[in-house]
A and B are shown apart, each in its own frame.
Chain A
Amino acid sequence: SQQGEEDPQALSIQEGENATMNCSYKTSINNLQWYRQNSGRGLVHLILIRSNEREKHSGRLRVTLDTSKKSSSLLITASRAADTASYFCATAPNSGNTPLVFGKGTRLSVIA
């Protein structure tokens, strides 16, 4: 079953604008991760935020985590056409023997 749910399902912005994607989840987690997928290919890991962290940065990416609301957001600043992809959040639950559970993704289109 899906643990994370991304919002919005699709997002279209102009190059240079910021893109914000949100993820909600249901159970307690060890960490939350964001991945990117280009055109039906393999996923690429972007960033991992642990349950005791509230914010993390990596280049143009900023991730926040609110464990009280069971939600996370991914901000991509100064977007580029090359950022066009699907973005997925994935949760690593606290319970053992439970794998990464992915949401349905947000399809981001950056228009040049």
Chain B
Amino acid sequence: EAGVTQSPTHLIKTRGQQVTLRCSPISGHTSVYWYQQALGLGLQFLLWYDEGEERNRGNFPPRFSGRQFPNYSSELNVNALELEDSALYLCASSADRGLGEAFFGQGTRLTVV
């Protein structure tokens, strides 16, 4: 069974640019979560999608947005990149709306210069 896949694995962008990160959940999982992990820090919750709808949003500015497609894959968009957006962006999926085990992808390492 394929796990959660994220693309790209690494990305370098210039301040002010826009970026799109992609995530494919495990087959059958309807919930997708996005987390930001700055270097050496814990995971900060960004967004939660379930059944195509945004269920919850973390304390991040509106330039962080995303969506979930009918096949439950998801995109995270970040506009007007800032240096402090440099982080590991982790996507996770689960089958039971946040109550059970979350399966993580390997993340996208974003560097903003």
Residues of A within 8 A of B (CB): 1-2, 30-31, 33, 35, 40-45, 48, 88, 90, 92, 97-105
B14 to chain A, nearest CB (A): 22
In the A-B complex, list the 5 residue pairs whose CB atoms are closest, starting with the nearest: A104-B42, A42-B104, A102-B43, A43-B104, A42-B106
**Quick check: A44 and B43 within 8 Å, CB to CB?**
no
Report the number of A-B residue pairs with Cβ-Cβ less than 8 Å.
64
**Quick check: B104 and A99 within 8 Å, CB to CB?**
no
Known: A1-B59, A45-B101, A92-B99. A40 touches B42 (CB 8 A): no
User: Could you say which residues of chain A place their CB within 8 Å of the CB of B109?
Assistant: 40
Known: A40-B109, A41-B106, A45-B103. A98 touches B98 (CB 8 A): yes
Contact flags B32-50 to A (C-beta < 8 A → 1, else 0): 0101010101110100100
How big is the B interface, by class?
Answer: 20 to 34
**Quick check: A44 and B102 within 8 Å, CB to CB?**
no
A10 to chain B, nearest CB (A): 11
A22 to chain B, nearest CB (A): 15
B63 within 8 Å of A by Cβ? Answer: no
Query: Chain B CB within 10 Å — which of A1, A99, A105 has the most?
Result: A99
**Quick check: A97 and B101 within 8 Å, CB to CB?**
no
Known: A1-B59, A40-B109, A42-B105. A102 touches B42 (CB 8 A): yes
Q: How far is the CA of A49 from the CA of B43 in the complex (A)?
A: 20
Q: How far is the CA of A105 from the CA of B42 in the complex (A)?
A: 6
A85 to chain B, nearest CB (A): 13
Can you give 27 A-B contacts (C-beta < 8 A)?
Answer: A33-B101, A33-B102, A40-B39, A40-B109, A41-B106, A42-B4, A42-B90, A42-B107, A43-B90, A43-B92, A43-B102, A45-B102, A48-B100, A88-B42, A88-B43, A92-B98, A98-B56, A98-B98, A99-B45, A99-B48, A99-B55, A99-B56, A100-B98, A100-B102, A102-B35, A103-B42, A104-B42
User: Could you say which residues of chain B place their CB within 8 Å of the CB of A40?
Assistant: 37, 39, 88, 107, 109
Q: How far is the CA of A1 from the CA of B59 in the complex (A)?
A: 8
